């Protein structure tokens, strides 16, 4: 029988793979991985493949970064959101308020948990507009999922105020936001549970899929330990029928290794973003998103709003610069959202932003020369 192959890289990555200034830095990042391979060899000799010592060690190190009491390693960022919702008791028909300007996974996790996504427009900081949340609350609303887009924390003080007033749960989609801070508090400390992704191009990445849930609630932590591992309290006793979404031991080794460098990774991204800010803000056709002194934005993505977006993207790509769109179609207009009855015009800022944004490579392997080249090419385009 002929097998259909679905293991493709999305076209957008394949077609830009050979650009000289690229979003993808994995070859450089892992060009010397002897330390990781040595640890993997040790693991293989022990056969400790499932939720063993290395996963414990990884979780302890991760919680030092998030400064939360507990962390649970799971299969992906998507699973982190899904398991959080399940462990918090989300049921069929519940409504969850979130942003229409996010990655598909936020909504996928809501829907697969049985709930209905209810969108609220964003502001020009790309995050949910807190002024619009209350009017979306109904008797079925159970939770809010703020998405800290590109590593910029949402207005969590206000979101938590609303959640307390209306007795709602809060789950942070912190998939872009490891190490990000708002008024000195780190992502992970503003909610019932916060969800991180370690997908290969995230600020903290592994060699495949991986995710982490951070929480300060011991009760939720204990539930999550059950939910990620079949609901087992030991080999023979299942307390609740649940899921299998464990952080893989090999990925825990990779994650642990990179966690040692997370501050330097974060700082490089911040410095690169500041350099772009300084130079690009002088160009009248470009709008730099608002920055706030009391925030530590960690720039999983460096996103600006530009005039003639599609032409600029083509021009940059034809000059060897990997300019991407994260993302061109908001969630409420995706075919998968059809059943929720949203229409074009419902969330004007998300729609406007999707048509005018461009992301430039900002990772730690971009050199000043490369940044200068990006800036020069953008200047030339608008000349
Ligand atoms: C905002 C957001 N939420 C959730 C996810 C899901 O993470 P993962 O790919 O690890 O499942 C992503 C990942 O790309 C994301 O960007």
The confidence score (pLDDT) of residue 370 equals 98
Helix 249-259 with 53-66: angle, nearest 10 deg: 40
The least confident of 27-31, 207-211, 360-364 is 27-31
Closest-CA residue, ligand 1 atom 16, reads 103
Query: Do the beta carbons of residue 169 and residue 143 sit within 8 Å?
Result: yes
Q: Could you read off the pLDDT of 153-171 as tens digits, one per residue?
A: 999 999 999 999 999 999 9
The confidence score (pLDDT) of residue 36 equals 97
The confidence score (pLDDT) of residue 46 equals 95
E strands present in the chain: 70-74, 95-98, 116-119, 141-145, 169-173, 181-182, 185-186, 193-197, 211-215, 232-234, 237-238, 286-287, 295-296, 302-306, 357-360
The confidence score (pLDDT) of residue 194 equals 98
The least confident of 16-25, 129-138, 155-164, 370-379 is 16-25
Which CA distances in Å does 189 have to 63, 218, 298, 362? 11, 14, 16, 26
Q: Is the pLDDT of residue 7 over 80?
A: no
Residue count (the chain): 383
Just give the CATH number of 262-382. 3.90.1150.10
Cα–Cα distance, 299 to 203 (Å, whole number): 8
Enumerate the domain spans of the chain.
Answer: 34-259, 262-382
Give the domain 34-259 fold.
3.40.640
Closest-CA residue, ligand 1 atom 1, reads 103
Q: In angstroms, what is the span from residue 198 Cα to ligand 1's centroid?
A: 8
113 φ, ψ to 5°? -80, -5
- Binned at pLDDT 50, 70 and 90, residue 265 comes out as very high
Q: Is the pLDDT of residue 9 over 80?
A: no
The confidence score (pLDDT) of residue 319 equals 97
- Two structure tokens written together for 84: 């959080």
Atom of ligand 1 nearest to the CA of 210: 10
Q: Could you read off the pLDDT of 52-81 as tens digits, one per residue?
A: 999 999 999 999 999 999 999 999 999 999
Atom of ligand 1 nearest to the CA of 109: 4
């Amino acid at each position: 029988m002929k097998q259909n192959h679905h293991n493709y890289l999305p076209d957008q990555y394949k077609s830009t793979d050979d650009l000289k200034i690229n979003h993808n830095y994995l070859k450089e990042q892992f060009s010397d991985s002897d330390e990781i391979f040595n640890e993997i060899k040790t693991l293989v000799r022990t056969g400790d493949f499932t939720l063993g010592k290395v996963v414990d060690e990884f979780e302890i190190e991760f919680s030092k970064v998030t400064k939360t009491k507990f962390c649970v390693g799971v299969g992906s960022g998507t699973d982190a959101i899904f398991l959080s919702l399940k462990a918090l008791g989300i049921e069929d028909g519940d409504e969850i308020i979130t942003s229409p300007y996010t990655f598909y996974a936020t909504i996928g996790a809501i829907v697969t948990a049985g709930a209905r996504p209810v969108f609220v427009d964003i502001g020009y900081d790309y995050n949910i507009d807190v002024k619009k949340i209350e009017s979306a609350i109904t008797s079925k609303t159970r939770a809010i999922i703020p998405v800290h887009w590109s590593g910029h924390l949402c207005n969590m003080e206000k979101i938590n105020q609303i959640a307390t007033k209306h007795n709602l749960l809060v789950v942070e989609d912190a998939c872009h936001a490891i190490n990000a801070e708002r008024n000195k508090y780190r992502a992970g400390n503003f909610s019932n549970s916060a969800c991180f992704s370690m997908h290969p191009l995230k600020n903290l990445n592994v060699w495949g899929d991986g995710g982490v849930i951070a929480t300060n609630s011991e009760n939720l932590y204990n539930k999550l330990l059950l939910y990620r591992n079949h609901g087992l309290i030991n080999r023979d006793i299942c307390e609740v029928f649940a899921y299998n979404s464990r952080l893989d031991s090999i990925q825990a080794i990779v994650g642990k290794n990179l966690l040692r460098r997370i501050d330097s990774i974060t700082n490089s991204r911040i410095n690169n973003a500041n350099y772009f800010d300084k130079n690009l803000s002088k160009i009248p056709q470009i709008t730099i998103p608002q920055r706030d002194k009391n925030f530590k934005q960690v720039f999983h993505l460096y996103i600006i709003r530009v005039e003639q977006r599609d032409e600029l993207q083509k021009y940059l790509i034809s000059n060897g610069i990997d300019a991407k769109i994260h993302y061109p179609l908001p969630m409420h207009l995706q075919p998968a959202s059809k059943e929720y009855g949203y229409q074009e015009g419902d969330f004007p800022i998300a729609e406007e932003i999707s048509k005018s944004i461009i992301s430039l490579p900002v990772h730690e392997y971009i050199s000043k020369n490369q940044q200068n080249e990006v800036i020069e090419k953008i200047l030339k385009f608008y000349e």
